[in-house]
Structure formats: structure tokens, C-alpha cells
Copies of this chain bind each other. A is one copy, B any other.
């Protein structure tokens, strides 16, 4: 049996997930595994609402809020601000740790399918500020059409 849904693969994936949680000093619970699994099997970013829908019953709104909060704080996921005032989250691929994020890449939101991409390969440009102003973090959010939606 070859494929990504074999029993062995599921077990391995399950261990990978447990290890990520342990490394972040978070206890391994069903809700956290489920949410982290969702992130690992999605290439774009996820909003709170997406997770609430995916989660087949049996998970409280509040648990999702607290799980996302914990993941952000521990450096597992980062927040992606969007122009439509809806926060999205994506896995950190850089070396982020508790309280220290280093996700200095550009984000892209497709106006058609609303998928949000981390353009990991594109660093945020440096902007020269007026005198007296100092930068601590720069966010670049690009709206447009993604490769899939391009006619």
C-alpha cells in the first residue's frame, strides 16, 4: 500500500506533531495535535474561522483561541496581518522560539481564492525612514492574483 494515507505514515506524522509540541514545552493534547496537523497539511495560512470549520465537531471556539495564542507565543506559528482585518496564522519555518519571531518575509493574499502565502524566499525590503524614526518590524502584504487563480 503506497500513499500518504497509509497507517504507518499517519503514525509517523503523529510523532512528528508530538515532538513539535514537546519541543515547545506544550503538553500533547488532542486539540493541539489536530490544529497543528491542520497547519502541517495546509500550504497557505489559516484563519480562526477556517480551523473552526475543519475541526469535525467536538472542539470549542475558546480552545482554538487559546491554542493559537499558545502556538504564537511558543514560536510555532506566526500572525499574518491582512488588509481585510482578519488575522491569519502560518507555520514558522525560520528559527522562531518563545517570544522571538524572525519571520521577515513578504506575505501574499490572493484576491480571488483568498489563500494567504508566506513568500519565504522574499525578504521584506528595507525602507529608509524620516530622521528620528526607528524601525523594529516591517510587514509587507501584497494583494493580487496567485498562480492558481491566474486566468
Asked whether A119 lies within 8 Å of B108 as measured between CB atoms, the reply is no
A72 to chain B, nearest CB (A): 12
- A132-B144 contact in complex given A82-B81, A87-B85, A139-B83, C-beta closer than 8 Å: no
Q: How far is the CA of A56 from the CA of B119 in the complex (A)?
A: 46
Copies per assembly: 2
Q: Is B136's CB under 8 angstroms from A145's CB?
A: yes
* A86–B83 alpha-carbon span in the complex (Å): 10
Residues of A94-150 contacting chain B, CB below 8 A: 106, 108, 111, 119, 121-122, 125, 127-148, 150
With a cutoff of 8 Å between Cβ atoms, the chain B residues found around residue A87 in the complex are 85
Bound Cα distance from A26 to B134, whole angstroms:
40
Q: Are A130 and B106 in contact (CB under 8 A)?
A: no
Contact yes or no, A142 B129, CB < 8 A: yes
